A = this chain, B = another copy of it.
């Protein structure tokens, strides 16, 4: 048993590393949180419905169960000292009950609840005068069609389901009349299409003492086939002015949400040079994987520091990078087989991360690759080789 007595000079509210941290969800983000916990010897308990989830082999304690189930989350929450998440689609009622019992939960249930619902997110931005594209909320597809008929929206526009949007599911770009048959017939947000110059993400962290640190903006390139991020550039190539605006905006959002933990703020930079908030995620984010090697403090370690109310870490960039998601190759499903690992390991600065998933399927996130290089051109050159060489197939 180890006891920490490290909090004296930081006041009674500061955290310690001796507590058991429970995480709802055991996917790759949970796995990388666990990896960051090992050097600090922090005990992590994971709740996930899958026996084969990526975090299982690296956590301190695994509990099989649904993070969407009230009683399961309640029981799991009572078994840990501090409770956090790696996915926002969790049972909020259980979190609110746990909070009322005095459990420390970070991010706060109220923030998760707001972020879970893209409609509430948009209303929050509107209320707080935070920049976001104009929108309207609808209950079903018929209401959306009626709004179109009344010319309240013009093509193209974006429909997003209010709940359970994840990895590109639940987002539809409606370009013309012919797309209307594909409208989601559930509560949704319809918003004006942004005339996008660049998509960026800014990761910000805040602890219970109100300390706040922000990472440099990350440039996001999307793969239109998979509707997933295909390449990230860190730091994003932006003017100093836009960089500063994005950092201030991200800090503003986490403070207005009054939340602790990590928040990834996805932004559009429109062709008028204005930043618009797309959406936020209250946890480590796909766009922050490269902080593991690029930055003094990774987003995963920062998540631990922020939710445990430890001092936040430096976000200084050690070496710039490009990051690629490693997705299941289209046309392959079943037991995973990797191609090109050795060839890519032979490239200086190429760091391969495999999530240990036993089965692949088309576009499933199976890993990522961070390419460290001082030269952006050289990083791009290596990224192109990795894209053409490293493949996730099945037997």
B341, A4: Cβ atoms closer than 8 Å: yes
A2, B372: Cβ atoms closer than 8 Å: no
**With contact pairs A5-B339, A6-B338 given, residues A313 and B345 touching in the complex (Cβ less than 8 Å):** yes
B352, A10: Cβ atoms closer than 8 Å: no
Please give, as numbers and ranges, the residues of chain B lying within 8 Å of A7 by CB-CB distance.
Answer: 342
- Name the interface size band of chain A: 35 or more
For residue A3, give the distance in angstroms from its CB to the closest CB of chain B: 5
B40, A310: Cβ atoms closer than 8 Å: no
**With contact pairs A39-B353, A58-B38, A60-B57 given, residues A4 and B337 touching in the complex (Cβ less than 8 Å):** yes
CA distance A107 to B320 in the complex (A): 35
List which A299-322 residues lie within 8 A (CB) of chain B: 305, 310-311, 313-314, 316, 318-319
In-complex Cβ contact of A358 among B2, B60, B338 (8 A): B2
Contact with B along A26-49 (1 / 0, CB 8 A): 000001000100111100000000
Contact with B along A55-94 (1 / 0, CB 8 A): 0011010000000000000000000000000000000000
A2, B338: Cβ atoms closer than 8 Å: yes
Q: Does A340 interact with chain B (Cβ within 8 Å)?
A: yes
- Select from chain B the residue with minimum beta-carbon distance to A11: B342
List which A224-259 residues lie within 8 A (CB) of chain B: none
A12-20, A113-121, A191-199 - the one binding chain B: A12-20
List which A327-384 residues lie within 8 A (CB) of chain B: 335-343, 345-346, 348-349, 351-356, 358, 372
B6, A342: Cβ atoms closer than 8 Å: yes
- Select from chain B the residue with minimum beta-carbon distance to A211: B346
- Select from chain B the residue with minimum beta-carbon distance to A39: B353
CA distance A178 to B339 in the complex (A): 66
For residue A262, give the distance in angstroms from its CB to the closest CB of chain B: 16
In-complex Cβ contact of A6 among B6, B293, B318, B343 (8 A): B343
Q: Does A133 interact with chain B (Cβ within 8 Å)?
A: no
Please give, as numbers and ranges, the residues of chain B lying within 8 Å of A354 by CB-CB distance.
Answer: 39-41
CA distance A285 to B220 in the complex (A): 39
- Select from chain B the residue with minimum beta-carbon distance to A301: B351
**With contact pairs A354-B40, A354-B41, A358-B1 given, residues A340 and B395 touching in the complex (Cβ less than 8 Å):** no
B316, A348: Cβ atoms closer than 8 Å: yes
Q: Does A141 interact with chain B (Cβ within 8 Å)?
A: no
In-complex Cβ contact of A341 among B6, B38, B355 (8 A): B6
CA distance A333 to B152 in the complex (A): 74
CA distance A319 to B294 in the complex (A): 11
Q: Does A123 interact with chain B (Cβ within 8 Å)?
A: no
B310, A2: Cβ atoms closer than 8 Å: no
Please give, as numbers and ranges, the residues of chain B lying within 8 Å of A31 by CB-CB distance.
Answer: 38
Q: Does A296 interact with chain B (Cβ within 8 Å)?
A: yes
Please give, as numbers and ranges, the residues of chain B lying within 8 Å of A150 by CB-CB distance.
Answer: none
CA distance A4 to B4 in the complex (A): 43
Q: Does A9 interact with chain B (Cβ within 8 Å)?
A: yes
Contact with B along A205-216 (1 / 0, CB 8 A): 000000000000
For residue A27, give the distance in angstroms from its CB to the closest CB of chain B: 15
- Residues of A bordering B, CB below 8 Å: 1-7, 9-10, 14-17, 31, 35, 38-41, 57-58, 60, 293, 296, 305, 310-311, 313-314, 316, 318-319, 335-343, 345-346, 348-349, 351-356, 358, 372, 395
What would 29 A/B residue contacts be, using CB atoms closer than 8 Å?
A2-B336, A2-B338, A3-B336, A4-B337, A5-B337, A5-B339, A6-B339, A6-B341, A9-B343, A14-B342, A16-B342, A39-B353, A39-B354, A41-B354, A41-B355, A41-B356, A57-B60, A296-B319, A296-B348, A296-B372, A305-B345, A310-B341, A310-B345, A311-B345, A311-B346, A314-B348, A316-B348, A316-B349, A318-B319
